[in-house]
Amino acid sequence: MHYKTKGEEMNNNSKISLLVIVAIVATLVIAACGGSQEAAPEAGAEVTYVDGVPQYGCLGSADSAIVDLECREVTVAVENAYLPFNYIVTETMQAEGWDYDVVSEICTRLHCTPVFEETVWETMIQQVQEGQFDVGGDGITINDERDENGDFSIGYVNTVMRLLVNIGEDRFTSIDDIAANSDLIMGTQINTTNYETAIEYVPEERVQAFDTFPFANAALIAGDIDAVIMDEVVGLGYQGENADALELIGPAITSDELGFYFPEGSELVDPFNQALESMIEDGSLNEFNLKYMGPTFALTYDEVQ
Amino acid sequence: MALRKNLMEKPGRRSFKELINEFPWWMVIIGLLIGITLLLIFNSPNFNEAFITMRVGISTTLSITLIAYAISLVIGLIVGLGRISSRVVAKNLATSYVEIIRGIPMLVLIFFIALVIIPGVIQSLSMLGEKFIALGWLFIGEPLAGVNIRMISMSFRAVIALSITYGAFSAEIFRAGIQSVHPGQMEAARSQGMTYGQAMRHVILPQAIRNVLPAIGNDFISMLKDSSLVSLLAVRDVTHLARLYAGGSFRFTEAYTTLAVLYLIMTVLLSLVVKYFERRISTNDKS
């Protein structure tokens, strides 16, 4: 039997270490190179996109600012799966939506730099409360519970909740009908006021909480569930997206205001409110609301992921 | 080895240092974590509320795990036998199955099976049913055409997904177990006049299964943890209920601490049960 000499053993050990180091370095290099791809900005566009997320840079100027935030970065939490506030357009793989337009308009009026960061809805409120983000977009409903550990801006739009159903649905016309018929199953997104409202009418076992609304809509189209409860402004978007498959029905279930969400005591609340108020005064907020939540907002199923 | 150690020690003296080294401190640590959390659950209203909301899901988690694991063992045995088969078709089908399933992450598989495969199968079945109806074969056609997706609930789909995934792992375990039995056993059995099947059933498999019981027990506990993935399909297991509670009450700390410790308790208890059965079966074995 050949016992390795000290020299040969050292050789093998160093070979293995070398291999490990090479492997680690190779992995890091591949990760770094395979990282962000910059899409060429469209001709005439002011915005560049990195990984599909628009990069705005410092907007506005010190002179015209209502409150001068001196180009400070404002991180905005979005989901990129919530029509019409933030979503990805499949053709270009770029993110768009009410949040992007309005927050960049707000930053133009406040001389700040909006930085949009994608996260999951389920933990977004918690993350904003902890200060991981400066502000939460994503159409957050203003309510007392959330107000306890965070701050809301003034409401920027009123919405009601309604039911998204398969076209031609005739077994029910309202959430009370669903409550009465124990064969029917509702769906919605987890950790939303939509879910809280749903379980007020329908037993919890008949309300399925999915990670995102597109998932719930897929279940609706497949027949796994019978209705999805969501904010009307969102429902209009998904109805437009799937015009031959889905429709919004039923009377308004609740009425709520949506607002931007900040960590408790954030110094951005007041400037944002001032910017929003100036946008209400000159009608630009209404224009954005009409653009994204009005009848002209129409995306085909292929256009939106 | 133990004898030598005793001979080398002064009789009757066990050093304090040895006691410290050999004491199962890890049990103490885990016991403390579980104990502290249980105390919190009984004394703090928030933790109590979290636990009460979640405990309804424990039975769902356990039943999904048990049913899925039982099915996966059956799949695993069949596929494992296929893997060592000398017949080309069986061997290649089994190997493809194992390689494909082991090559895809469980999260992806669960979505794929629940949202693509099963709805696809349902649609094909009902299309097939309609073709039969058109041909006039109502007896087969009508039930097939009447098949709709609601018949296979998300829980059911989750169980199928878990079984298919773990079936591949079990197949490999069974294969290793069978191959670990001395080939002389098969030769002896065949020379006694048994067919391949009889030899397998009466001689090889009993030994093989006894050999791999620890691995099978471990896989069961593994599936208990992976069953948490069914929460993504909105199945109301203990993880999903914890997420719902955390989302509705904003008490993420209480919810997730309780959830983690609940899983810890379940896996620790189950490992003790598994070890007990292992010991019983191996002491029964006089070989």
pLDDT at residue A5 in the model: 63
Residues from chain B contacting residue A223 (CB–CB below 8 Å): 148-150
Across the range B108-131, mean pLDDT stands at 88
pLDDT, mean over chain A: 86
Question: Domains plus CATH for chain B?
Answer: 63-284 (1.10.3720.10)
Residues from chain A contacting residue B247 (CB–CB below 8 Å): 122, 190-192, 195
pLDDT at residue A303 in the model: 54
Across the range A133-156, mean pLDDT stands at 94
- Over 80: is that where the pLDDT of A122 sits? yes
Higher pLDDT, A242 or A177: A177
pLDDT at residue B5 in the model: 54
Distance (Å) from the alpha carbon of B157 to chain A's nearest alpha carbon: 12
pLDDT at residue A298 in the model: 63
- Over 80: is that where the pLDDT of A36 sits? no
Task: Establish whether this prediction's ipTM goes over 0.90.
Answer: no
Residues 103-132 in A contacting B (C-alpha not used; CB under 8 Å): 122-123, 125-126, 129
Contact state of A195 with B247 under an 8 Å Cβ cutoff: yes
One-letter-per-residue 3-state SS of chain B:
CHHHHHHHCCCCCCCHHHHHHHCCHHHHHHHHHHHHHHHHHHHCHHHHHHHHHHHHHHHHHHHHHHHHHHHHHHHHHHHHHHHHCCCHHHHHHHHHHHHHHHCCCHHHHHHHHHHHHHHHHHHHHHHHHHHHHHHCCHHHHHHHHHCCHHHCCHHHHHHHHHHHHHHHHHHHHHHHHHHHCCHHHHHHHHHCCCCHHHHHHHHHHHHHHHHHHHHHHHHHHHHHHHHHHHHHHCCCCHHHHHHHHHHHHCCHHHHHHHHHHHHHHHHHHHHHHHHHHHHHHHHHCCC
Least confident interval from A118-122, A169-173, A207-211, B116-120: B116-120
pTM over 0.90: no
Question: Domains plus CATH for chain A?
Answer: 43-158+257-293 (3.40.190.10), 159-255 (3.40.190.10)
Least confident interval from A125-139, A158-172, A282-296, B82-96: A282-296
A149 closest CB neighbour out of B119, B148, B250? B250
